[in-house]
Amino acid sequence: MSALRPNFFALLLVPLPGLPQWALGRARTALMLFVTFFFSANIALLSKLVPLPLASSVVFACACAVALGAFVYGVVDTWRLAVANRTRHAQAEREQWFLQGRARYLAGDLGAARERFLHMLDRDSADPLARVTLAALERRAGNPRSASAHARSALSQWKDNPFRAELERELALAKDDSRGR
């Protein structure tokens, strides 16, 4: 099994919050980080330039804290997506969690299987394999809304999803299940 190569280009984009996430294909996260960082940075700047009815030092401190938090989150998220999840160890761990989850799923232990696949999503929230399997698992467990949510999330987060046909099938089946209930 070969690990993906680290994406050092994304690390070069870190000074602009949201841009690395956009380059890694995470448009929603990129937009959230970009808007949060620049809105709070502008509020901090305005609080120093224009006297506000509130204590401008409090507004400045809060806006700086939010901007710094968004920046740090962006750096950590970029490191996790571009480098940490692409090592051989991380790929091997992901494969083990998937194999354990699949074994539990086939054995009928849906709770334990769900736990394994959710752990995979903790590592990478757009993992297409975990999402398609969770969509099938949730539909089989009688949770069509959760199945639809996983399938839609996978389709929206990754446009070139290799499991597009399976995810669309799970969406259709979950829709049929929710109508039947």
Q: Is the distance from CB of 6 to CB of 83 less than 8 angstroms?
A: yes
Tell me the per-residue pLDDT of 99-132, one tens digit each, with 9 for 90 and over: 999 999 989 898 899 999 988 888 777 677 888 8
| 28 vs 66 pLDDT, higher one | 66
pLDDT of 145 = 87
Query: Where in the chain do CATH 1.25.40.10 domains reside?
Result: 88-180
Where does the pLDDT of residue 159 fall: very low under 50, low under 70, confident under 90, or very high at 90 and above? low
Contacts for 53 with CB less than 8 Å, ≥ 6 apart: none
Confidence band of 180 (pLDDT split at 50, 70, 90): low
What is the largest distance, in Å, between two alpha-carbon atoms of the chain? 65
- Distance in angstroms (rounded) separating the CA atoms of residues 151 and 171: 6
Q: Which two tokens stand for residue 7?
A: 């994406």
CA-derived radius of gyration, the chain: 20
Q: Selecting from 3.40.50.2300, 1.25.40.10, 3.40.630.30, 1.10.3480.10, what CATH number does the domain 88-180 have?
A: 1.25.40.10
State the Cα–Cα distance between residues 141 and 110, nearest whole angstrom.
Answer: 7
Residue 66's φ and ψ, nearest 5 degrees, are -65, -45
Distance, in Å, from the CA atom of 75 to the CA atom of 24, rounded to the nearest integer, reads 13
Average pLDDT of the segment spanning 32-37: 96
Q: Which amino acid is present at 147?
A: A
Please report which confidence band the pLDDT of residue 170 belongs to, taking 50, 70 and 90 as the band edges. confident
